[in-house]
Amino acid sequence: YSLDELATVLVLLATVGWEQFSPRRRLIVAALLPWTIWMSYTSSFLLVGLVLVALASWLRKWDRARLLGLLMLMGSAAAAAASVYMLSMRHSFGHKALGYIWAASFPGKPVLPWLGQALINVFGAACDMSYAPALALALCVFGALSLPKSDNRPVAILAAGTLCSAVLASFVHAYPLAGGRLSIYWAPIALLLLASGLRALHDAFNLKSLRRSVVAIAGIIALVSVYMLLQQGSTLLVREEMRDVLTALEQHDDGQTPILVSAAANAQFRVYASPKLLRRATYMKGWLLPTSEVYRAWLRAGQPARFWLIVTGIDLNRKDALEADLGPFARAVRTIQRGRCAALSVKLLPKGRWPRAQ
């Protein structure tokens, strides 16, 4: 992910930062584009950022040649994305992964709780150290605080516009919006704030006033400290939620049902599970999707007709996709959920068979 973000930043700098769009720089950008798109989903917000730059160029009446170069770059990026997409779809796993994403990544009913959960997941993922490092997030906050007042309104409008476009795209089923995917749309804003923070820090060090430099360094250290406290608080919160889930599970448990524990929930389960729960636990080594990992754990547990499935984190975010994948073979008859931790009571259907068993 770090290399992926680095490539995206280089492409955006090559597009936005240079005054002249020379053929050599176009070649550099063209070489970086397919690799960036192949690595991850950053190509999505790369294209969004390029569209915003093109619109800003037209509104501010920048050089027509520069605007034409940006439009050509967007076309080449779209072509690279299409070719990479076609290559990835040649593998069966590409079809299956795309099916999971598009099966449970659109607004449900009611809409407001769904949107609120999407917003929470953006910052929750950041606190779990999944997207942005602490220093980068601190620099973004520092950049937001150091923005001139004249820039506050355009940045706020840009942030609101990207949020609205993300929600609208999800409503019309044009792009899935689940988990931390909202951060894809906000990435241009984050890069802008990051650049603002670096510029403010650079200006503070260039000034002869020692007080400005000390204040800037102290502000960065304070923001990093707050970030790490939030991360620790998020971890402690997940552990408390796991303890509540296991306490409720023991109240509904018959004392014999096997327990399958996802890889993400292994550590918390081992800490808070009672000895009688630990004796019945079977631990998985990978993500729950595709469900082949659940199938292997089910075999090791003795092929029970009913079992508990302990999930947390990214597996819980994809719970709907997991239940849809298990639909022809088993179904969750009970769900015990506390925040980002859950225990699913799964029962095999009378004539159902696991995908790998077929």
Domain boundary among 37, 68, 90: 90
Would 354 be classed as within a structural domain? Answer: no
Mean pLDDT over residues 2-7, rounded?
49
- pLDDT at residue 54, rounded to an integer: 59
**Cα(178)–Cα(260) distance, integer angstroms:** 25
In terms of domains, do 80 and 131 share one? no
- pLDDT at residue 269, rounded to an integer: 85
Query: In this model, does residue 170 exceed pLDDT 70?
Result: yes
Number of domains in the chain: 3
Query: In this model, does residue 326 exceed pLDDT 60?
Result: yes
In terms of domains, do 246 and 341 share one? yes
Q: What are phi and psi of 38, to 5 degrees?
A: -65, -35
In terms of domains, do 250 and 155 share one? no
Q: Is 324 helix (H, G, I), strand (E, B) or coil?
A: helix
Tell me the average pLDDT of the chain: 67
Task: Write out pLDDT tens, residues 209-252.
Answer: 556 656 666 666 666 566 555 555 555 555 677 888 888 888 88
Helix 182-206 and helix 134-146, axial crossing angle in degrees, nearest 10: 70
Mean pLDDT over residues 286-302, rounded?
75
In terms of domains, do 309 and 271 share one? yes
Query: In this model, does residue 1 exceed pLDDT 50?
Result: no
**Cα(301)–Cα(311) distance, integer angstroms:** 17
Task: Write out pLDDT tens, residues 69-114.
Answer: 666 666 666 665 566 566 655 555 555 555 655 655 666 656 677 6
* Concatenated DSSP letters of 154-210: HHHHHHHHHHHHHHHHHHTTSS---GGGHHHHHHHHHHHHHHHHHHHHHHHHHSS-H
Which amino acid appears at position 160 of this protein? Answer: A
pTM over 0.85: no
In terms of domains, do 182 and 156 share one? yes
In terms of domains, do 76 and 125 share one? no
Would 232 be classed as within a structural domain? Answer: no
In terms of domains, do 48 and 114 share one? no
pLDDT-based confidence at residue 127 (cuts at 50, 70, 90): very low
Would 168 be classed as within a structural domain? Answer: yes
Would 222 be classed as within a structural domain? Answer: no
- pLDDT at residue 357, rounded to an integer: 44
Would 217 be classed as within a structural domain? Answer: no
DSSP-assigned beta bridge partners for residue 336: 343
Which amino acid appears at position 311 of this protein? Answer: V
In terms of domains, do 248 and 344 share one? yes
In terms of domains, do 186 and 123 share one? yes
Q: Is 339 helix (H, G, I), strand (E, B) or coil?
A: coil
Residue of 275 and 162 predicted with greater confidence: 275
Mean pLDDT over residues 327-333, rounded?
79
Residue of 327 and 344 predicted with greater confidence: 344
Would 153 be classed as within a structural domain? Answer: yes
Residue of 348 and 42 predicted with greater confidence: 348
Task: Write out pLDDT tens, residues 46-59.
Answer: 555 556 655 665 66
In terms of domains, do 9 and 31 share one? yes
Determine the structural domain holding residue 181 and report its residue range. 103-206
Task: Write out pLDDT tens, residues 299-315.
Answer: 888 888 889 988 886 67
